[in-house]
Amino acid sequence: MSAPTIELRNVTKRFGSVIALQSVNIEVNPGEVHCLLGDNGAGKSTLIKILSGVHRPTDGEIFVEGRGVRFRSPRDAQDLGIATVYQDLGMIPMMSIARNFFLGREPRRRRLLWQRLDLDMANTVARRAMADVGIDIRDPTQAVGTLSGGERQTVAIARAIHFGAKVIILDEPTSALGVHQAAMVLKFVVEARLRGLSVIFISHNINHAYPVGDVFTFLDRGQPRGTFRKKDISRDEVIEIMSGGEDLRAVEAEIERMLAQARSSEAAH
């Protein structure tokens, strides 16, 4: 078998005395959607920043295609084919779809000693690249801010695929979307998977993660709570872990005990 596209081994991240992540192990294979699930404060954002080269782990190792790596900056991660699509997408609303598609990598046309942006090529390539993944944009010169949230997410995913990403990290890609727009994004997550890419899908919404996921890793306050392949865990079991079922039952039992004591006290009086 080939090595995982990306792998974390016993990764820990401390900020002073605060342990943001503790001994996290994750491996993501080609053509696989690995869902990273957890509530707010679970450590998902810290893990994204380690995977994308923003933070360095305090302890542990990162491997890309079987080779140990140390990211000094996000550029190092990008150069190894790791693309991160953040919630805010990093797009400029008043700039065109094509300009946002090439942001920082614009094609240039040389004339004598001068270079200038080749807008015609940018428009043509952006339209073709998005059509390749099934996105029919009306006009590549259209301001990206006029697109729906789901359409902007798909532009970001298409951009990552076009520029050769091997791993796409999606940070809560459906969190602010309606049902139709979320479905659009999930379709392109599957498209990336079918192209052999590795996808890390960060979410707290199991109804969006479970249909597309192959593997599920749970985080709780920086602690890993298990990794399961889809065949080994049902949607209901995922919901149980996500909702903190055991903790809720303990709270319910404590509340019932308190109410029973109150009723007994009232009866005694």
pLDDT at 57 over 90: yes
- How confident is the model over 4-14, as pLDDT tens digits? 999 999 999 99
pLDDT of residue 6: 93
pLDDT at res. 166 = 92
SS3 of residue 55 by DSSP: coil
- Average pLDDT for 224-232: 91
CA distance 83 to 39: 23
Asked if the model's pLDDT at residue 84 lies above 70, the reply is: yes
Question: 234-269 pLDDT, tens per residue?
Answer: 888 888 887 665 555 666 677 877 787 877 777 776
Q: Are 52 and 100 in contact (CB under 8 A)?
A: no
Using only C-alpha atoms, the chain has a radius of gyration, in whole angstroms, of 22
HEC readout, 127-193: HHHHHHCCCCCCCCCCEHHHCCHHHHHHHHHHHHHHCCCCEEEEECCCCCCCHHHHHHHHHHHHHHH
In this structure, which topology does domain 6-92+165-233 adopt according to CATH?
A: Rossmann fold (3.40.50)
The pLDDT value recorded for residue 144 is 84
Q: Using pLDDT thresholds of 50, 70 and 90, give the confidence band for residue 142.
A: confident
18-28, strands of its sheet edge to edge: 18-28, 6-15, 59-64, 67-69
**Among 139, 138, 116, 140, CA closest to 126:** 140
For the cut 90, the answer to whether the pLDDT of residue 90 exceeds it is no
For the entire predicted model, the pTM comes to 0.81
User: What number is the average pLDDT over the span 186-214?
Assistant: 88
Token look-up 């192990």 returns: 25
Tell which wins on pLDDT, 249 or 95.
95
